[in-house]
Amino acid sequence: MNSLKNIIIASATALTMTGMAAGMAQAQPGRYYDRGHDQRVDRLSTSYVDSLDWKIQNAAQHGRISWREAQDLKGDLNRVKPLAWRYQTGQARPGEINRLERTVDRITQEVRD
């Protein structure tokens, strides 16, 4: 009977340890996403990229850029929006991250107040 108890206790311990390890693996952030309070994360997040659409529209309405420039920038922005999602979920490759970062930086510069 004692050996059966020991087997059950050992099995329960092993299952608990396996469950904890699996939970820790799931809790790991995306490869490129979690970098503390890195400014790059904020600029490449989907919410920031989505906000650029409004900034483009606003810049065109206030005459800081032409409507043609606004259309071009919106086209560029729409092409990188999927990359922002991939970046945020940790699925983006380094080349995609660089492309996203260059596009966000360029648009931000163009629509700056």
Mind listing the pLDDT tens digit for each residue in 2-18? 676 667 776 767 666 66
Range of the domain at 53: 31-111
- Tally the domains of the chain: 1
CB under 8 Å, gap of 24 or more: what pairs does 75-84 form? Answer: 76/103, 76/106, 76/107, 77/49, 77/52, 77/53, 77/103, 77/107, 79/103, 80/49, 80/104, 81/46, 81/49, 81/50, 84/44, 84/45, 84/46, 84/48, 84/49
Per-residue pLDDT at 15: 65
> Is 44 inside any structural domain?
yes
Give residue-wise pLDDT tens across range 58-82. 999 999 999 999 999 999 999 999 9
> Is 102 inside any structural domain?
yes
pLDDT above 70 for 20: no
| Predicted confidence band of residue 43 (pLDDT cuts 50, 70, 90) | confident
> Is 48 inside any structural domain?
yes
> Is 4 inside any structural domain?
no
